[in-house]
Amino acid sequence: MTIKETKEYFNFTDKSDNKQYDIKYYIIINQAAVRQISKKLTLKDMAIFDYIYNIHKSGSDKIKRIIYKQREYTWVNYSHLLKQMPLLQCSKASITRAIQRLEKYGLIVSTIHDSNKYIRIGPKSVMLFEKSDTNWDEIVKIGTNDGAITLTEFWENKELIKDAVERYRKSEN
Task: Please give the model's pTM, rounded to 2 decimal places.
Answer: 0.74
Instruction: Tell me if 45 sits within 8 A of 128, measured CB to CB.
Output: no
pLDDT over threshold 90, residue 119 = yes
* Per-residue model confidence (pLDDT) at position 4: 41
Query: Would residue 130 count as lying in a domain?
Result: no
Q: How many domains does the chain have?
A: 2
Residue 11: strand pairing partners: 4, 22
Higher-scoring residue by pLDDT: 112, 144: 112
Measure CA 18 to chain center. Answer: 32
pLDDT-derived band at 80, boundaries 50, 70, 90 = confident
16 DSSP assignment: T
DSSP H helical ranges for 4-91: 31-37, 43-57, 78-84
Least confident of 14-28, 48-62, 82-96, 117-131: 14-28
Query: Would residue 146 count as lying in a domain?
Result: yes
Instruction: Tell me if 118 sits within 8 A of 112, measured CB to CB.
Output: yes
3-state secondary structure of 11: strand
Average pLDDT over residues 89-114: 94
Cα-based angle 80, 109, 152 (whole degrees, multiple of 5):
165
Least confident of 43-57, 61-75, 103-117, 147-161: 147-161
pLDDT over threshold 50, residue 156 = yes
Instruction: Tell me if 29 sits within 8 A of 43, measured CB to CB.
Output: yes
Which CATH number belongs to the domain containing residue 43 in this structure?
A: 1.10.10
* Per-residue model confidence (pLDDT) at position 5: 42
Please tell me whether residues 91 and 10 are part of one structural domain.
yes
For residue 148, the enclosing domain spans 135-172
Please tell me whether residues 120 and 139 are part of one structural domain.
no
Q: What integer best gives the mean pLDDT of the chain?
A: 82
* Per-residue model confidence (pLDDT) at position 16: 67
102 DSSP assignment: H
Distance, first Cα to last Cα, the chain: 52
* Per-residue model confidence (pLDDT) at position 101: 96
Please tell me whether residues 106 and 168 are part of one structural domain.
no
* Per-residue model confidence (pLDDT) at position 3: 39
Measure CA 35 to chain center. Answer: 15
Domain boundary among 86, 105, 124: 124
Measure CA 106 to chain center. Answer: 10
Percentage of the chain beyond pLDDT 70 is 80
* Per-residue model confidence (pLDDT) at position 132: 63
pLDDT over threshold 90, residue 75 = yes
